[in-house]
């Protein structure tokens, strides 16, 4: 067997659904990425600017690397809906996929080394300094969509990507799951993802303004979410699947829900998980240990919960928001709680009184400005 065929076979044995080899060269969308950064569409993800040179030239990521092995792993398609209607992006089901994929990349590396394939090696999962979707498309395992996702013929948009840089020069091309000549997905004239995006974050085919993207806002963004976007979050408390849900290529994809198992993060100590995420401040790290839900930290997840509780009003949510407004130590959460209360219960005189009292005792000027913006509207 040729070295690339060996790599594909071992990857399949380790549970990967897709595999391909990409040449270690500048991604074909390098110019678009540079423009995207210059326009500030990466939001507060400064690390992308810091890593720009390596992203644009993957040969800088690992000296002496010669090939880029791209791997795909299907994930859950079953909707993740919490009590009360709040929603979590499907990829967050079960254990953190970064750990799962990283361990298998390590196993893959060890087995390739044992067979004599040259190093050095470096595994990357999601956060590494490469344009993984562009390289995956170059490897032939999928096609880039108008939502800037990668679409697989078998899995639609419902899969993870991982990469292994290695010193062996391997023959570029797709693995047996996507043999040469296989028809890859094509968006054609479809604009379903663009039309359905709640915040109009897809500003042009293949171009997403992260500053408006619900996934970015609820996971990566620190601090308050813009008032004009809060109502558009709808039920999404962590991530967003709308562009993938409406994509025709994902409608018949297999469901890999069992792959990463279930996780206690979706079990609240009492009442609705969403109210628990807002009011239970102790033990956050323990409670969400091993889950992607740790990423926004306690403040970010509580901020998201407060906004969604406003978008999905309930009596239980009202009480949780009042507690957060009066007691939460994080200003960004207090501000979001005020917005959620007025959004969901603005006709309640008790709510307005609570917000006015909170404004009187608030000492954080940024939070006071947020309160006043909430009171003035018009976003509520």
Give the pLDDT confidence of 116-130 residue by residue, as tens digits. Answer: 998 899 999 987 899
The overall average pLDDT reported for the chain is 91
Q: Which of 52, 243, 206 is nearest to 131 (CA)?
A: 52
Rounded distance between C-alpha atoms, residue 140 and residue 137, angstroms: 5
172 burial level (CB within 10 Å; 0-12, 13-18, 19+): middle
Q: Give the lowest-confidence range in 101-110, 220-229, 250-259.
A: 250-259
- What does each C-alpha distance from 193 to 76, 205, 243 come to in angstroms? 19, 9, 4
Residue 39, pLDDT above cutoff 90: yes
Residue 309, pLDDT above cutoff 70: yes
Of residues 311 and 81, more confidence is placed in 311
Q: What is the pLDDT of residues 49-64, one digit of tens each?
A: 999 999 999 999 998 9
Catalytic residues: 126
Beta strands in 104-213, from DSSP E residues, in sequence order? 121-124, 143-144, 150-151, 159-166, 173-174, 202-204, 207-208
The reported pLDDT for the residue numbered 259 is: 60
174 burial level (CB within 10 Å; 0-12, 13-18, 19+): buried
- Ramachandran category for residue 377: left, alpha or beta (phi over 0 → left; psi -120 to 50 → alpha): left
Residue 111, classed as helix, strand or coil, is helix
Q: What is the pLDDT of residues 132-168, one digit of tens each?
A: 999 999 999 999 999 999 999 989 999 999 999 999 9
- What does each C-alpha distance from 291 to 112, 193, 371 come to in angstroms? 30, 27, 32
pLDDT band (50, 70, 90) for residue 257:
low
Strands 87-88 and 236-238: parallel
pLDDT band (50, 70, 90) for residue 92:
confident
The reported pLDDT for the residue numbered 378 is: 59
Rounded distance between C-alpha atoms, residue 213 and residue 112, angstroms: 39
Report, as an integer, the average pLDDT of 215-243: 97
Residue 100, pLDDT above cutoff 70: yes
Percent of residues, the chain, with pLDDT higher than 70: 95
The reported pLDDT for the residue numbered 266 is: 45
Q: What angle do CA 124, 128, 133 make, to 5 degrees?
A: 85
For 355, other C-beta atoms within 10 Å of its C-beta total 21
The reported pLDDT for the residue numbered 79 is: 84
pLDDT band (50, 70, 90) for residue 265:
very low
Residue 37, classed as helix, strand or coil, is helix
Q: Which of 30-44, 71-85, 115-129, 282-296 has the highest mean pLDDT?
A: 30-44
pLDDT band (50, 70, 90) for residue 10:
very high
Report, as an integer, the average pLDDT of 272-294: 84
pTM value is 0.92
Rounded distance between C-alpha atoms, residue 356 and residue 345, angstroms: 14
Report, as an integer, the average pLDDT of 265-276: 59
């Amino acid at each position: 067997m040729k070295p690339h065929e060996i790599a594909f076979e071992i990857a399949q044995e380790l549970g990967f659904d897709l595999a391909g080899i990409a040449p270690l060269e500048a991604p074909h969308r390098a110019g678009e990425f540079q423009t995207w950064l210059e326009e500030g569409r990466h939001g507060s993800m400064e690390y992308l600017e810091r890593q720009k040179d390596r992203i644009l030239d993957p040969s800088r990521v690992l000296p002496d690397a010669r090939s880029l092995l791209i791997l795909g792993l299907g994930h859950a398609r079953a909707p993740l809906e919490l009590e009360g209607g709040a929603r979590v992006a499907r990829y967050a089901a079960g254990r953190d996929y970064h750990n799962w994929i990283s361990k298998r990349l390590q196993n893959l590396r060890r087995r390739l080394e044992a067979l004599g394939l040259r190093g050095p090696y470096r595994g990357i999962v999601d956060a590494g300094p490469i344009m993984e979707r562009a390289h995956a498309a170059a490897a032939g395992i999928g096609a880039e969509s108008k939502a800037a996702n990668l679409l697989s013929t078998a899995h639609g948009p419902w899969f993870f990507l991982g990469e292994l840089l290695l010193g062996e020069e391997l023959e570029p091309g797709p693995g047996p799951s996507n043999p040469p000549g296989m028809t890859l997905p094509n968006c054609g004239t479809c604009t379903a993802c663009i039309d359905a995006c709640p915040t109009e974050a897809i500003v042009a085919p293949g171009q997403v303004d992260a500053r408006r993207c619900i996934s970015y806002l609820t996971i990566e963004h620190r601090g308050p979410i813009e008032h004009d976007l809060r109502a558009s979050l709808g039920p999404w408390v962590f991530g967003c699947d709308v562009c993938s849900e409406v994509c025709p290529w994902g409608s018949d994809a297999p469901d890999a829900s069992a792959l990463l198992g279930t996780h206690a993060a979706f079990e609240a100590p009492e009442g609705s998980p969403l109210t628990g995420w807002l009011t239970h401040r102790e033990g956050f790290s323990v409670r969400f240990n091993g889950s992607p839900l740790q990423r926004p930290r306690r403040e970010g997840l509580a901020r998201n919960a407060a906004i969604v509780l406003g978008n999905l009003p309930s009596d239980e949510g009202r009480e949780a928001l009042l507690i957060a407004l009066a007691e939460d130590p994080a200003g960004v959460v207090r501000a979001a709680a005020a917005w959620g209360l007025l959004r969901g219960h603005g006709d309640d005189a008790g709510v307005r009184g609570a917000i006015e009292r909170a404004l009187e005792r608030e000492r954080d000027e940024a939070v006071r400005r947020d309160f006043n913006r909430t009171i003035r509207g018009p976003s509520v």
